[in-house]
Chains A and B, each alone.
Chain A
Amino acid sequence: MRAWLQHHGLSLAQTLARLARSPFATTLNVLAIGVAAALPFGVYCVLGNFESLSRNASVDPQLSVFLARDAAKPEIAAVEARLKGASGVSAVRFVSRDAALAELNRVAGMQEVIASLPQNPLPDAFVVTLSGSDPALADRLELEFKSLPKVAYVQADSAWVKRLDALLRLGRTAVVLLSALLGLALVAVTFNTIRLQILTQRDEIELCRLIGATHAYIRRPYFYLGSLLGLFGGIAALVIVLSGLTVLNRDLADLGYLYGSNVSLRFPSPNEMISALLAAVALGWLGAYLSVSRHLLEADRD
């Protein structure tokens, strides 16, 4: 057991020494892995920002319920009662046609248009705030309100949220695809790096097998090599993504200033960063596993 631990320590130390001995090649390998891992991780981070945006926006989705123009006061009151009584409704605000016209009047350039109209074309309306952001709830209430007497039209203000949701779903699929592709690239990079390393050490490997080394013994240093390449590549990816987000945030701050709002991209959480690192390590390990197994198989054949 102690000897086994010693060999693990020795493998790790030798692997680190080997990486340090060819700093240029190591740096390039780490960069290749870093860039491959940074792409899906970066897209994931930016996407996460939109997701939180859509979550915030859909905290209180609204329905606008427009009434028929011939709705009389008692009918309006009846609709209001039904709206307030519906489950999933948190607030109901009445916007009278006159109030709506007055509001429209404040919009520049509209006064002349309105003045030329013979009468107020706007209907009375309710703005209904829903208590949940569930799109199914909005759909259900929209149908329910549409069927109320004297309701002419119901407009879901959360439509754009749904569109954003659909876009985000697309984005998430893209992240999964990108991760799969670039994960494959990462495995390929470590596979080849380790294959080269194996070829330079093939005499040593052959000798070790002849003097009683198990496959596990022969694989061990390469597992370390693959995992370390993955780890360093993962760190490079994090550095790339974090500096990318920092640069983007600086530009966003300018943009936000012009729009009078304060927007910035959220940085990945420690958990997300650790998961990304672990994934990179696992993929590096996998590349090493495939590479050594292939070599051992070839060596067994001849």
Chain B
Amino acid sequence: MTGGVAIISLRQVSKRYPGGFEALRLVSFAVEPGEMLFLTGHSGAGKTTLLKLIAAIERANGGAVLVNGQNLSALRPAAIPYLRRNLGLVFQGQKLLFDRSVFDNVMLPLIVTGQPYREAARRARAALDKVGLLQREKANPVALSGGEQQRLCVARAVVNRPAILLADEPTASLDAAYADEIMEMFSAFNQVGVTVLVATHDRQLIGKYRKRVLTLDHGKLLQ
């Protein structure tokens, strides 16, 4: 890790869910701008919780989560949407909308953030082109293969040109060839300066990249 201001930084972060389950315990780490790193660990180790804390979907019970220099526990609820606009999220459950076309799925983040339609359409097509789905823009996502659906999620996550890309098990349901494809895309985004944090339990995939790996074990970060 080189010196400089961290774009994501966790200090002694703990998260306990109602009911007493402790998902994270005293987790500390920092991510440099433009870094790509993996977050791994067994199922239930706290990977998803950690990503949710960074995206302000959950709130930490203790410690401090800083994203872009903002302390999330001190963030007003009204400021959360603006924080998320700097994040590209690839969700574990994909969360594609099947009541609209591939193109409209990618348009959504741009419309939500108030881009003019013409400019938004141009950027949506550019994002679809980057993931190789431009020919399918009029299709319904339900008609796409699993790999194509995951690529659509990636396009939607990057269309707003976020500084940080968070991906939760982006290759979980894909075979090896599709998984490599997705990882190559993340790597390409990282090369143009996007900070990428990928949570995955696929050690084989991690082995192909010489990147920093954070390992969670029962909510604790292994050093």
Residues of A within 8 A of B (CB): 2-4, 6-7, 10, 203-204, 206-215, 217, 300
**Cβ contact of A211, chosen from B78, B109, B116, B117, cutoff 8 A:** B109
Residues of B within 8 A of A (CB): 55, 57, 77-78, 81-85, 89, 91, 95, 97, 99, 108-109, 111-117, 156, 160
The CA-CA distance from A268 to B213 in the complex, in Å, is 75
Chain B residues whose C-beta falls within 8 Å of the C-beta of A210 in the assembled complex: 55, 57, 84, 89, 91, 95
Q: Within the complex, what minimum Cβ distance (angstroms) separates B102 from chain A?
A: 15
Q: Within the complex, what minimum Cβ distance (angstroms) separates A21 from chain B?
A: 11
The 7 closest A-B pairs by CB, nearest first: A212-B85, A212-B84, A213-B112, A3-B114, A211-B109, A212-B81, A3-B116
Q: A207-B97, A215-B78 are in contact. List 8 more A-B contacts (CB 8 A).
A: A2-B116, A4-B114, A10-B111, A204-B99, A211-B112, A211-B160, A212-B84, A217-B112
Chain A residues whose C-beta falls within 8 Å of the C-beta of B113 in the assembled complex: 211-212
The CA-CA distance from A207 to B91 in the complex, in Å, is 10
**Cβ contact of A7, chosen from B57, B81, B114, cutoff 8 A:** B114
Chain A residues whose C-beta falls within 8 Å of the C-beta of B83 in the assembled complex: 212
**Cβ contact of B97, chosen from A2, A3, A204, cutoff 8 A:** A204
Q: Within the complex, what minimum Cβ distance (angstroms) separates A9 from chain B?
A: 10
The CA-CA distance from A24 to B78 in the complex, in Å, is 38
Closest to B88 in A: A211
Closest to A204 in B: B97
Q: Within the complex, what minimum Cβ distance (angstroms) separates B68 from chain A?
A: 13
Closest to B57 in A: A210
Could you list some 21 contacts between A and B, CB below 8 A? A2-B116, A3-B115, A3-B116, A7-B111, A10-B111, A207-B95, A208-B108, A208-B112, A211-B85, A211-B89, A211-B108, A211-B109, A211-B113, A211-B156, A212-B81, A212-B82, A212-B85, A212-B109, A212-B112, A214-B78, A214-B81
